Amino acid sequence: MDKRIEILGLGAGDLEQLPVGVYKKLLRAGVGLFLRTKEHPVVADLEKEGLTYTSFDAVYEKHEQFDLVYEEIARTLLQKAESGPIVYAVPGHPLVAERTVQLLLEYAPKEAVEIIIGGGQSFIDPIFAALRIDPIEGFQLLDGTALLSSQLQIEQHIFISQVYDQFVASNVKLTLMEKLPDDYEVYIVTAAGSSQEVIEKVPLYELDRNVSINNLTSVYIPPVKEEQILLKNFSKLREIIAVLRGPNGCPWDREQTHESLKKYLIEETYEVIEAINHDDIDHLIEELGDVLLQVMLHAQIGEDDGYFSIDDIIEVLSEKMIRRHPHVFGTGKAANAEEVVQNWQEIKQQEKGRAEAPSSLLEGVSKAQPNLLRAYELQKLAAKVGFDWQEITPALAKVKEELDEFVAELDGTEAGLVLAKKEFGDLLFAFVNVARFLKIHPEEALFETNEKFIRRFQYVEEGVERSGRSFEEHTLEELDHYWDEAKRKGL
């Protein structure tokens, strides 16, 4: 039996645009004609000439998601083709913005069904003509039913098809607003190239309020020229950094090296932490931008030197995230955050094993970290192989032992001071061990103490100011009195 589906395009507008060959095939098809939708000007005209057909409009009412609609249409057509050749007609051209056709092309070979693509004019040529746009300037054609802001290249002409109704238009509007101002002017183009052609210019916020939206509607977004709008684009940031490092850029930026920028990365990182601690969102946005600036400068230096670019950084990071999250991107399992961390460490160790086996378990702890934090990380790694106290009592005893040894070296001699310095380090290290045992992060604990000291000392300063006397005119006992007041007030 001849299992065949011939797919024809109804064109972008009225009957005048329909090729003669397609016109004849539609009328000859009889009961073997299926339409994705009858809501098309050509169908109304052909009905007057006796066109018979079956439409899939009812399928749209059954499902809330377009993917399910297209899936059912494709499966139904393949089933019908089992009984003999059929004709399937879609708006526009079969190979332009037609998901059902793509599904048929994918599924048909498995069902031994032949697919023939017939003629039909897409909406692309008429819409370019209606808007008087040369496509060589660069354009995007996107699906309104599955639009993502990450797809948008706002410096190009953007055409969004499949804007069937106000619901789709609303989703398109909200997605565009992630990149564009609410009042950015867009165009609603309906039945381009036909006698019913309508082009309306509206501010973006009114896109879903237009009552003329139907299955012949597309939305056109002109290229963005305004600098302020483009500032949200990553490509614009990359361009700015390249200009700063370029021959006509900033002398300071041109002089920077990976080495010279180290201190700034550390400073900006701490400022991010400060913004988080103060729960200051606006400050956090700004400080995260400063950290990103450091990344972009290092990337531009790498590109200028010919070694790497921001693309290489992103690629390596993306690969790592996929590789180390098999429970998300693969077949791995992780029931909770603890298992995620365990899997991460195991994968990390496997990666290092492929490169070169580490000479020590502690090799991965960076020397560039603050040493209080570094002590914490070193102890954590050692604890993983059982080199750790099993209870807090001996850990506390170790603190007392180190304190006694530190005090014993304070004999007033220069040699004693050298030894005291070493014992002081041992004492801090022992305290970090106690903190880790109690699940207290030493860096966070010390931060809170520093903040407390600042609050109380500022209260002392206020007391001194209220007294009308200087610090030098106060005894230590008087200053301690202010300090105790601050403690009583819970500062």
Which tens digits make up the pLDDT trace of 391-423?
889 999 999 999 999 999 998 888 888 999 999
Q: Which residues contact 98 (CB under 8 A, 6 or more apart)?
A: 36, 90, 92
Q: Sorting pLDDT into bands at 50, 70 and 90, what band is 348? A: confident
Given a cut of 90, whether residue 123 has pLDDT beyond it is no
**Where residue 1 falls among pLDDT bands split at 50, 70, 90?**
low
User: CATH number of the domain at 368-440, please?
Assistant: 1.10.287.1080
Would the pLDDT of 351 be above 90? Answer: no
Residue 221 has pLDDT above 60, yes or no: yes
Instruction: Enter the tokens of residue 114.
Output: 């032949």
Regarding pTM above 0.75, the answer is no
The C-alpha atoms of residue 383 and residue 402 are separated, in whole angstroms, by 20
**Backbone torsions φ then ψ of 88, nearest 5 degrees:** -120, 125
* CATH dotted code for 233-308: 1.10.287.1080
Phi first, then psi, for residue 220 (nearest 5°) are -115, 130
Q: What secondary structure letter does DSSP report for 196?
A: T
Superfamily of domain 4-121: Tetrapyrrole methylase, N-terminal domain (3.40.1010.10)
In DSSP terms, 157 is beta-bridged to 139
How would you classify residue 138: left for phi > 0, otherwise alpha for psi between -120 and 50, otherwise beta?
Answer: left
Least confident of 16-20, 169-173, 478-482: 16-20
CATH of domain 124-230: 3.30.950.10
For position 4, what pLDDT does the model report?
92
Lowest mean pLDDT among 58-67, 126-135, 207-216, 428-437: 207-216
Task: Read off the tokens for 62.
Answer: 């059954």
Res 157 pLDDT > 90? yes
Q: Which pLDDT score, from 0 to 100, does residue 117 have?
A: 93
Q: How much is the pLDDT for 381?
A: 78
pLDDT at residue 360, as a whole number: 74
Local confidence band at 358 (pLDDT 50, 70, 90 cut-offs): low
- Cα–Cα dist 483/474, whole Å: 13
Beta-carbon count within 10 A of 418 CB = 10
Confidence class of residue 107 from pLDDT cuts 50, 70 and 90? very high
Per-residue model confidence (pLDDT) at position 354: 55
**CA dihedral (237, 242, 248, 253) positive or negative:** positive
Q: What is the pLDDT of residue 447?
A: 83
Q: Is the pLDDT of residue 369 over 90?
A: no
pLDDT at 353: 62
Taking the C-alpha atoms of residue 298 and residue 257, their distance in angstroms, rounded to an integer, is: 8
CB atoms under 10 Å from CB of 134, counted, come to 9
Q: Would you mind telling me the total number of residues written for the chain in this entry?
A: 491
Average pLDDT of the chain, as a whole number: 89
pLDDT (0 to 100) of residue 334:
78
235-254: average pLDDT: 95
CB 269 within 8 A of CB 368: no
**Phi and psi dihedrals of 86, rounded to 5?**
-135, 165
pLDDT of residue 251: 95
CB 104 within 8 A of CB 72: no
Residue 357: predicted pLDDT: 55
Is 170 a residue whose pLDDT tops 70? Answer: yes
Backbone angles phi, psi at 195, to 5 degrees: -70, -20
